[in-house]
Amino acid sequence: MPIVTVSLADRSYPIVIEPGSLSRVGAFMAEYARPHGVLVVSNPAIAEQYGELVLASLQAVGIPACMALVPPGDRAKSLRNAERLIDRAVAERLDRTSAVLALGGGVIGDLAGFVAAIYLRGVSFIQVPTSLLAQVDASVGGKTAVNHRAGKNLVGCFHQPRLVVIDPCVLETLPRREVGAGLAEMVKHGVILDASYFIRLESGMRRLRALDQDELTEAIAGSCALKASVVAADEREAGRRALLNYGHTFGHALETVTCYRRYKHGEAVALGMEMAAMLSQDLGLLSHEDALRQRELLRAAGLPVAVKRASHITVDGLLAAMEHDKKVVRGRLRFVLAKRIGAGFVADDIPVDAVRSVCRRFLESER
């Protein structure tokens, strides 16, 4: 059973990765957190599959719990839904010794974590991610947020979990697009952080897509370890952690102009990674060979690497969305680019004309 530790002094926490661990959530909480009450946040579909199992595991160790449901989809990340969850916490008389548990994907984790951060000035937070994307990315690192009409994740804060429990078995019920969305974040970790991990994904992608439990467990642990090392070095994204935004400046813009409806988050990140690779090549940083390796691995993961020409996405629309991105620093867009596989870096001095050129050529290209 791999256990990855996010090292943050007295706020360090374990990430437990084990097939079948969903039935032991209560036991892990008794060992690592021990709250006196728990608000489990989920959506109807996930709660129907796993809600009773998690509640029973909490009951078995004497931890009282209740469940609150929110609608599925990224638009559930709203201030209104956060307020509704707080209303439920108040009605259940949850106090500062209580915890909020996120049972679901990245949307649930972001929303539930935000509620845990602001309720009573902060209560314990537990992540039980049920999507691959959440398991390898969103559940690790303490970023919480809701969306604003001007852009994605504009209202939020950092609030680290006390515990993350990852059960790869739940991925067997995940739609194929959702699996691909998580694989995009894993590819991202390889591109920006670790060439050997990228090579491992190249050799193991077929088994990962087939949901081989041994391959998944080790690959998920590898991604979590890479992200944990970055978070430990730069918790609040003052420097190195910004590397994790590779593909996200372009990707978030694509999500914004399509109203979060056309692409899964990981699909948008995959497209954003392709645009970031184009920009890296234009600036003479990334070789054609490495850009092609990235593209082929994304394809092997079943991810899109181009948009349809009739998609009605415009260059001006993308640029306008980027201007509202939370990664804008002192009026300058911040991009994560790649020098080679395994070597990402942050740049905030990219000419707008270069970005415009990438957007135009990407929207016109067929790959």
- 308 has catalytic annotation: no
CA 295 to chain centre: 20
Residue 259 CB partners (closer than 8 Å, separation 6+) = none
Q: How far apart are CA 249 and CA 89, in angstroms?
A: 35
Q: Looking at beta carbons, which pairs linking 294-297 to residues 24 or more positions away fall under 8 Å?
A: 294/187, 294/191, 294/338, 294/341, 295/367, 297/187, 297/190, 297/198, 297/201, 297/202, 297/205
Of the listed 215, 237, 255, 267, which one is catalytic?
A: 237
**Phi and psi, residue 244, nearest 5°:** -65, -5
Of the listed 18, 43, 152, 185, which one is catalytic?
A: 185
- 3 state DSSP class of 102: strand
Of the listed 152, 227, 264, 293, which one is catalytic?
A: 227
Of the listed 80, 121, 149, 288, which one is catalytic?
A: 121
Q: Would you say residue 329 has pLDDT above 60?
A: no
Q: Would you say residue 34 has pLDDT above 60?
A: yes
Of the listed 189, 265, 295, 327, which one is catalytic?
A: 265
Q: What CATH number does the domain located at 176-364 have?
A: 1.20.1090.10
| Domain 3-173 architecture | 3-Layer(aba) Sandwich (3.40)
Residue 278 CB partners (closer than 8 Å, separation 6+) = 291, 358, 361, 362
pLDDT tens, position by position, 164-179? 999 999 999 999 999 9
- 245 has catalytic annotation: yes
Closest CA to 334 of 251, 254, 242, 268: 242
Q: Given phi > 0 = left and psi -120 to 50 = alpha, else beta, which region is 9?
A: left
Q: pLDDT tier at 157 (50, 70, 90 boundaries)?
A: very high
- 159 has catalytic annotation: no
**Which stretch of 18-22, 106-110, 167-171, 308-312 has the lowest confidence by average pLDDT?**
308-312
- 185 has catalytic annotation: yes
- 148 has catalytic annotation: no
Helices (H) and strands (E) in the chain, counts: 14, 11
- 264 has catalytic annotation: no
Of the listed 24, 77, 143, 152, which one is catalytic?
A: 143
- What are the start and end residues of each CATH 1.20.1090.10 domain in the chain? 176-364
The stretch 244-267 carries a mean pLDDT of 92
Is the Cβ–Cβ distance between 242 and 29 less than 8 Å?
A: no
* pTM, full prediction: 0.92
- 227 has catalytic annotation: yes
Is the Cβ–Cβ distance between 305 and 295 less than 8 Å?
A: yes
The stretch 189-213 carries a mean pLDDT of 98
Q: What is the DSSP string of 289-352?
A: HHHHHHHHHHHHTT---S--GGG---HHHHHHHHHT-TT-BTTB--EEEEEETTEEEEES---H
Q: Would you say residue 326 has pLDDT above 60?
A: no
Of the listed 81, 153, 245, 264, which one is catalytic?
A: 245
Percent of the chain with pLDDT over 70: 97
- 265 has catalytic annotation: yes
Closest CA to 267 of 200, 135, 342, 178: 178
pLDDT tens, position by position, 309-320? 757 899 999 999
The stretch 252-272 carries a mean pLDDT of 91
Of the listed 77, 152, 200, 252, which one is catalytic?
A: 252
- What are the start and end residues of each CATH 3.40.50.1970 domain in the chain? 3-173
**Which stretch of 16-20, 72-76, 84-88, 299-303 has the lowest confidence by average pLDDT?**
72-76
**What length is written for the chain?**
367
Is the Cβ–Cβ distance between 132 and 303 less than 8 Å?
A: no
142, two tokens: 């303490």
pLDDT tens, position by position, 117-139? 999 999 999 999 999 999 999 99
288, two tokens: 């054609």
pLDDT of residue 234: 96
Of the listed 162, 241, 295, 327, which one is catalytic?
A: 241
Residue 203 CB partners (closer than 8 Å, separation 6+) = none
**Which stretch of 95-104, 125-134, 322-331 has the lowest confidence by average pLDDT?**
322-331
